[in-house]
Amino acid sequence: MELRLLQYFIAIADEKSITKAANKLHVTQPTLSKQLIQLEEELEVTLFERKNRQMILTDAGINLRERAEQIIELTNKTVSELRQTNEDIHGEIAIGSGETEGFSMIADVIKNIQNEYPHITFNIYSGNGYEIMKKLDNGLLDFGLIIGDRGIDQYNSLLLPFQDTWGLFIKEDDPLAQEKSISLSSLIDLPLIISRNPIFTNELVDWLGEPLNEKNIVATYNLIRNAIIMSEKGLGYVVALDGLIDTTGKTNLTFRPFSPALKTNLYLIWRKNTFLVPAAKVFLEQLHAHIEKESMN
């Protein structure tokens, strides 16, 4: 399967029209139609259906689009890595990160690197630990910032000098907001909005000492902002990490930590037995230097 055919396929999927895709690619419509037929014959599937004068992806087409985008992204990343040299360090570094205030440490390192190596660029992907590990395994990320140590044994890892604190986001007029912390007994009967990240869920289960009561889970979230909106509307209490939103701003929520305290370590991970390009080596060296500097303060 030629990379060019995948690029043509993605263009048709984006434009939902062979004519528009041909104009975008600067090829003729008959040429593009012929290439699409060639791809479908090679794969022995139908990739598009015509509906209301639009090209709509079939189930096979949807699956191929996800794979094709990954293939092209990985190809571009590989080309960029191979072109790097120690004399002229440039290229892209892809970092996946969960939602954590500890990312500010990574941002400081990125700022320092770009001052010294202006030709290094960073691509940041936000997602949960499972998604980040999956992308690392597929070679789509160079590094991952992971909250907690579950599943990191299969990677190289670096413990960062930062701990996230677990607790609840609570409406300010709620009686619980008068408490300095939230006890285990208080948490059990509350309507909870929790992360769908299995790593987070397992951390909470370990702390509780028992599985979560599904009756108490009114919603799950991927990114914290939507969960906060639900809590502001009175739908439940958000189980999350401190520092992810500014509770001194417009929100009517406040944060209260759990008691006994539940804290989670933060790790940078990357694949074992993998070749690190010069730009990635620079990032690790700068991060080590930053951690050493922090420890001396």
Token pair in block for residue 72 = 């092209």
> H-helix or E-strand containing 243?
none
Give the global pTM. 0.68
Containing 250, the helix (H) or strand (E) segment is none
pLDDT in tens, the chain (297 residues): 788 888 888 899 999 998 898 888 888 888 888 888 888 888 889 998 888 888 899 998 888 988 888 888 878 777 766 665 545 677 889 999 988 999 999 999 999 999 888 889 999 998 888 889 999 998 889 999 998 888 899 999 999 999 999 999 999 999 999 999 998 778 778 899 988 877 677 777 777 776 666 768 899 888 888 899 999 998 999 999 898 887 777 788 999 999 989 888 999 999 998 888 888 999 999 999 999 887 776
Chain segment 241-276, per-residue pLDDT in tens: 898 887 777 788 999 999 989 888 999 999 998 888
What the chain holds in terms of domains, given with CATH numbers, is 3-80 (1.10.10.10), 89-162+265-296 (3.40.190.10), 164-263 (3.40.190.10)
Q: Give the list of residues 6+ apart from residue 266 with CB closer than 8 angstroms, or none.
A: 100, 102, 145, 146, 147, 159, 160, 162, 163, 164
